[in-house]
Amino acid sequence: MKLINFKSNNVLKLGILTEQGVIDVSAENPAPQTPVTMTEALNMGLERTINALTPVLEHAKNYIPEETILYAPVVDNPSKILCVGLNYKTHVMESGKWDKLPERPVIFSKFNSTLIGHKGTVIRNRTSKKHDYEAEIVIVIGKEAAYVDKDSALDYVFGYTLANDISARDLQSYSHQWLLGKSCDTFCPLGPCITTADVLPHDAMHMVGRKNGEIRQEGDSNDLIFDIPTLVSYLSQCMTLQPGDVILTGTPAGVIGGRPADQQDWLTDGDEVTVTVEQIGTLSCRISD
């Protein structure tokens, strides 16, 4: 099942994305206890949400054309936006950060002020001249997770979505901490939907990142140095993961900062960047001053 977060009359609503269009769950006279917001769905957990929404999907009477939807960030208020750096071998090699692969996941964070939805606008930071893209697969947590082992880690995953970890490379290099270059306003497009984990295996996603239609990045979820169960388990040893928390799993080679200096075509006003995984869809955003 594909779930979206969208705005109608400035109200956040839960939608089911289908080939016929988007089903507004709240408009289908759902049974009591049916989630009508993404937050409610995430707090109910994967199994209960699927059970509650399946009748809505099967008996829907109205479909909204997908192209008319105003997308919100697919998770609008996560308690944590956790990011994994250098998690594809190809990106480690192009970054020149280490002579060997990291022994443990490299973790940093973003803030809620970075979030925008599918088809949203990334506003370039005024103090940066080196804006970059990073196509990423995202884990969405659906159950409180603390000290979970790797074998049971997938039980805590609600589903998967996409992000573009927009980065200001000059700000990122100000210190050994990457936070400034990663957490500028609008620097985390998130969406377009959550594909639930019951229909999407964690190791079966092929991701493509494009700049203005040109393929720049490609990676597979089974190519991660630290795979999805490992990341969920590792992070749960340090902090309690809550429903709606999101984990950006890392980006493959092909970022602008990894190109030769004379080919570093930093993002500028009017550029479009996209992230695609077939089972999820395409997340797109425009760059603006």
What is the domain extent for residue 260?
Answer: 81-288
Taken in order 193, 79, 206, 93, the sign of the CA dihedral is positive
Q: What is the pTM of this model?
A: 0.97
Element containing residue 60 per DSSP (H, E): none
**Judgement on whether residues 95 and 49 belong to the same structural domain of the protein:** no
**Distance (Å, whole) CA 140 – CA 161:** 7
Q: What b-and-e string marks burial along 95-122, b requiring 16 or more CB atoms within 10 Å of the CB? A: eeeeeeeeeebbebebbeebbbbbbbeb
Structure confidence by residue, pLDDT tens digits, 148-202? 999 999 999 999 999 999 999 999 999 989 999 999 999 999 999 999 999 999 9
**Judgement on whether residues 133 and 253 belong to the same structural domain of the protein:** yes
pLDDT of res. 98: 64
Tokens describing residue 120: 């949203």
In the chain, % helix, strand, coil (3-state, to 5) comes to 25, 35, 40
Structure confidence by residue, pLDDT tens digits, 92-141? 888 876 677 889 999 999 999 999 999 999 999 999 999 999 999 999 99
**Judgement on whether residues 121 and 40 belong to the same structural domain of the protein:** no
The residue that leads in pLDDT, 223 or 96, is 223
pLDDT of res. 159: 98
**Distance (Å, whole) CA 156 – CA 118:** 25
Tokens describing residue 145: 């997770």
pLDDT of res. 195: 98
The pLDDT mean for the chain works out to 97
DSSP classification of residue 238? T
Structure confidence by residue, pLDDT tens digits, 72-96? 999 999 999 999 999 999 898 888 7
Among 71, 103, 132, the domain boundary falls at 71
Among 71, 95, 110, the domain boundary falls at 71
Among 71, 90, 116, the domain boundary falls at 71
pLDDT of res. 101: 86
Structure confidence by residue, pLDDT tens digits, 238-288? 999 999 999 999 999 999 999 999 999 999 999 999 999 999 999 999 999
